[in-house]
Structure 1
Amino acid sequence: MAKKTTTLDKSITNFLGPKHWLSWGAMGVAYLLSYLPWCGQKFLGKILGTIHYALSSNRKNICHVNLKICFPDMTDAERTRLAKAHFKSMGIGVFETFASWFQNQKKFQSRVTFEGQDVIDRVLAKGRGCILISGHFSSLDICGGQMPRFIDVHPIYKLQSNPVMNWVMERQRQAIFSKTIERTNMREVLKSLKQNKAVWYAVDQDYGRKNSVFAPFYGRQCATIAHIGRIANMTNAPVVLYDYGRTEKGFHLSLTEVENYPTQDDVVNATRINELMEAIIAPKKEQYFWSHRRFKTQPVPGDPSPYKK
């Protein structure tokens, strides 16, 4: 697997060799598709998701395993309907990502509603910055691109293995946000909080045993990042829940301060985070990243993955 490294210190000339031509071709197609009208993107996104569901046996298996773990009371038919709706939502999200990368963010402002300006004004008045926490939903990129309209937020991001994608992604996010932070760079996180900025973490993916504690998510123990509570304890920065999603008319973003958080117990803190994630997933289940291996790391080392066929 290619090493994941930042491209911010590299010129585009580093990525013009023949081995990158296919990736640049894909970026060119993405650029052209980003100009489609919103209704066309939604239509083609649903078709893309339907095709992906039919052809990707691995991702489909991951999705169905997650839904069976999290919604055991659903019938097989209900879970299948939700899985298909999820893939369509993710397909739409692909086109939204293209639009967020290659179009002016002002183009989407009329489709966005926001709730919580009073929340962010209040927490930043304390002068300690704040930690935004969110989940992974299919409208992540396009909704994230709208946040700087309301708050100077510094998002934490994960590098991809494809260097051309990193080159495009990192520069796109640099153009939108005043600062972005690679997820291993804790020094920059603390610096941003000290400068009374908002740092944005998506807190609902499995980053392995080393970086996690085990806490229930839909009743099943899963690896949950522990450092949100640790950072909050270290800096006294308030924690704010960032909820976002696609609506019939566009997108809705909202902020809510997380009260009585953190405690001094990592597991209690992680449990609270997972409860918050469950609450924001509930009204828009199909938009959540069910095709991510959320239960990959097992509480007992050596126990089999639930995703093995």
Structure 2
Amino acid sequence: MADKSTKDLTLKQLLAPKYWFTWIVMGVTYLISFLPWQAKQTLGKYLGLLVYKLAKKRRHICDVNFKICYPEMNAQERESLTKAHFISAGKGLLETFDAWYQPASKLLPRVEFDSQDVVDKALEAGRGCILISGHFSPLDLCGTLIASHLDLHPIYKRQNSPVFNWVMEHQRKKVYSKTIERSDMREVLKSLKQNKPVWYAVDQDYGRKHSVFAPFFGRKCATISHIGRIAKMTKAPVLLLDYGRTKTGYTYRFSEVPDYPTDDDVINATIINQLMEKAIENKKEQYLWSHRRFKTPVNQGDPSPYDTM
């Protein structure tokens, strides 16, 4: 059963003094969202550089991930890519508030999108479709932009901050006809039955219980196993959603995932990870390298690669 949402909490409940600072921060981000696009890109760059200086633990996680995924990189190259990642993440944070507070129409002229026919074809059978993607820094904004063309139902994870989560859920409700908390499988099946695209970001470690181990950049890691099962159960086609930031705006496109699913969960997870690798290749800095992608060891009890600092 899905966890209880915070979107039904009243403002009175969330106006307690312990939440005041968070509300002030949310107010500032609302004002920032009205800045010109290029100004926000510049501000996001310097915000990212500030976090890069302060977030030693996250820098370490990035470095470990680069050692695993790009063993040919030297220390200087890893440091340069880590810094670029934080800059991209800073921009992505401000883009999130753009997605929440500003109409998508303001940024649509900056979007390159040319694969609506792929989605239309996938929906012809009336079984909906499953969109899979990775976690890249402009995720929230690109989702909002895509929703201008497509009635997609994204899967999301609730945040720890009640105020942040309340604002997030209320603002997303203005963009999407429906959002689905990641544990709510009943709503996923209902959306597919209604011939809607359901959007999963498939590249995070959700632990041993919900995963199989499949190679990602040559190293086995916990990869969610239920995408193939849902596709097999519903016969919904699976599409790759590849999106990202360019120098002047954003790009996103869809492509079919052929020969998917198979009858093997590990093969299905391997296909997903290979697709993520290809999506990452031409925009490495935008990927969420500060996530502990390899935190669950194949052999239970083995140390995490992130344990040493």
TM-score exceeds 0.5:
yes
The amino acid across from 1:57 in the alignment is K
Equivalent residue of 2:198, what SS?
Answer: strand
Query: Could you tell me which residue of structure 1 aligns to residue 226 of structure 2?
Result: 227
Return the alpha-carbon distance in structure 1 between the equivalents of residues 25 and 248 of structure 2. Answer: 29
The amino acid across from 2:51 in the alignment is H
Query: Could you tell me which residue of structure 1 aligns to residue 12 of structure 2?
Result: 13
Determine if the alignment matches structure 1 residue 130 to structure 2 residue 126.
no
Query: Could you tell me which residue of structure 1 aligns to residue 102 of structure 2?
Result: 103
Query: Could you tell me which residue of structure 1 aligns to residue 30 of structure 2?
Result: 31
| 1:34-88 deviation digits (Å, cap 9, x = unpaired) | 1111111111111111111111111010011101100001121111111111110
Displacement, 1:8? Answer: 2.3
Unaligned runs of 5+ in 2: none
Equivalent residue of 1:300, what SS?
Answer: coil
Return the alpha-carbon distance in structure 1 between the equivalents of residues 257 and 149 of structure 2. Answer: 19
Query: Could you tell me which residue of structure 1 aligns to residue 42 of structure 2?
Result: 43
Aligned residues: 306
Percentage identity across aligned positions?
60
Query: Could you tell me which residue of structure 2 aligns to residue 296 of structure 1?
Result: 295
Return the alpha-carbon distance in structure 2 between the equivalents of residues 220 and 52 of structure 1. Answer: 28
Query: Could you tell me which residue of structure 2 aligns to residue 306 of structure 1?
Result: 305
Displacement, 1:115? Answer: 2.2
| 1:3-49 deviation digits (Å, cap 9, x = unpaired) | x7412222222101011111111101111111111111111111111
The amino acid across from 1:183 in the alignment is R
Return the alpha-carbon distance in structure 1 between the equivalents of residues 94 and 148 of structure 2. Answer: 22
Return the alpha-carbon distance in structure 2 between the equivalents of residues 279 and 140 of structure 1. Answer: 17
Query: Could you tell me which residue of structure 2 aligns to residue 248 of structure 1?
Result: 247
Query: Could you tell me which residue of structure 2 aligns to residue 257 of structure 1?
Result: 256
Return the alpha-carbon distance in structure 2 between the equivalents of residues 45 and 21 of structure 1. Answer: 24
Equivalent residue of 1:97, what SS?
Answer: helix
Moved over 3 A (4+): none
Q: Is the 8 A contact 2:62 2:290 kept in 1?
A: yes
Return the alpha-carbon distance in structure 2 between the equivalents of residues 82 and 132 of structure 1. Answer: 28
Equivalent residue of 1:46, what SS?
Answer: helix
Q: Is the 8 A contact 1:5 1:159 kept in 2?
A: no
| 1:267-288 deviation digits (Å, cap 9, x = unpaired) | 0000000000000000000000
Give me the CA root mean square deviation: 0.9
Q: Structure 1 length as normaliser, TM-score? A: 0.98
Bigger shift: residues 104-113 or 247-256? 104-113
Unaligned runs of 5+ in 1: none
Q: Structure 2 length as normaliser, TM-score? A: 0.98
Return the alpha-carbon distance in structure 2 between the equivalents of residues 61 and 211 of structure 1. Answer: 26
Matches within 5 A, 1:28-177: 28-177=27-176
Equivalent residue of 1:91, what SS?
Answer: helix
Return the alpha-carbon distance in structure 2 between the equivalents of residues 247 and 118 of structure 1. Answer: 23
Bigger shift: residues 28-37 or 182-191? 28-37
